[in-house]
Structure 1
Amino acid sequence: MISGNKILLRHVQLGDVDDLYEYSSQKEVAQAAGFIQSDNYSAAKDFYAELDNDLAWVIILKTGKVIGNVCLYEQGLDFAKQTEKRVAIGYALNNKYWNKGYMSEALILLVEWIKNNKMGIDVIEAYVTNRNIASQRVLEKVGFSVSSIIDVPYFDIQLMNNKVIAYEKILRKGEVEYAVNQGL
């Protein structure tokens, strides 16, 4: 368990399914996070199964209520022949708890956990549609910066390409110093 001021992060438990259903069934949450909206309790159990791994945590209020999740996704070396180890971060939050600082705290806690567990991760990436201004603000607030803007297929109702903003947070000190010296 990872403890913060207002929230806790822990791995998902079967007893969390009701709370998972509450926010995974919210259309705007599913669209913002890029997953398929749960339309019944069985779909929420499938969502639970996706979160049941060592690189996923649920966000819990001190009262015990699960209000969201944060996940890490391992990234292989990409076509640009990058040598640093990267992970992508994804997250979702019950819309009843938007704009209260919970997601910012969750991301800060997770970044600190990554640093403290010496996972050898150099860069954390996040991808946000250009329409998701609130998520862009959260990432910028916790120290992520824009690395590129790309067109990707986004599975919304129209299955159309959308602009996605790629963010990154560099964890290696040498790269941070280099970026500062280069004025990046």
Structure 2
Amino acid sequence: MAKQYPQDESLLSLRPFDLTTDVDDLMVWVSDNQVAHFCSWDTYTSKEQAIEYVHNFVLQHPYHRVICLNNRAIGAISVTCNAGNDKCRGELGYVLASQYWGRGIATWAVKAVGSAIFEERPELERLEALVDVENVGSQRVLEKGGFLKEGVLRKYCIQKGRTRDMVMFSLLSTDASTPSVPI
């Protein structure tokens, strides 16, 4: 039987990244080859690289949160909103330190963002997530989080030097199954 989130869900939270307290925690997952395997980025080898990433991306991003257990950052989740004629869509991305895999924490975070993002960003009608066809664990997270598997996009992108097939998932603002999770 798979482990579920901690006995007390109140130990889980989402919050903005804090450069003064979260960098060492961030290094745990950005330096882990297992975590980076299906990500677009390569593992980070120095704290300076991580700080540069935080300055150039995380702190500039309009919706980027750390996933916390006991207020300690163990992963991250973001929604990148489109503009112009595509402003009705946003793309979900998430990452979790490997020692927390299989406990339902990523699913909790996906549900939390899925239940909050449409209120916070009323222009959004669709939340998408693209997952490598070989990343079965992440596909399960999205399905448990209420996302619908739409299909496989063959030879969709080049990632880490290889052309990859990706699975498209979506959650709509009108989906009755949009789960409600307190954050």
Question: Normalized against structure 1, the TM-score is what?
Answer: 0.81
Whichever residue aligns with residue 155 of structure 1, its letter is Q
Residue 65 of structure 2 corresponds to which residue in structure 1?
57
Question: SS in structure 1 opposite 2:159?
Answer: coil
Are 2:80 and 1:73 aligned? yes
Deviation at 1:54, TM superposition (A): 2.7
Structure 1 stretches of 4+ moved >6 Å = none
1:140–1:77 Cα change, 3 Å: farther
1:7–1:152 Cα change, 3 Å: same
Q: Which one has a bigger Cα radius of gyration?
A: 1
Which aligned pairs between 1:1-184 and structure 2 lie closer than 5 A? 5-14=10-19, 15-49=21-55, 50-52=57-59, 53-62=61-70, 64-76=71-83, 85-150=88-153, 151-156=155-160, 159-172=161-174
Moved more, 90-99 or 42-51: 42-51
Q: CA RMSD in A?
A: 1.9
Whichever residue aligns with residue 61 of structure 1, its letter is L
Deviation at 1:118, TM superposition (A): 4.9
In structure 2, the gaps of 5 or more residues are: 1-8, 177-183
Which of structures 1 and 2 has the larger relative contact order (alpha carbons within 8 angstroms, sep 6+)? 2
In structure 1, the gaps of 5 or more residues are: 177-184
Question: Normalized against structure 2, the TM-score is what?
Answer: 0.82
Identity %: 24
Separation of aligned partners in 2, 1:136 and 1:6:
25
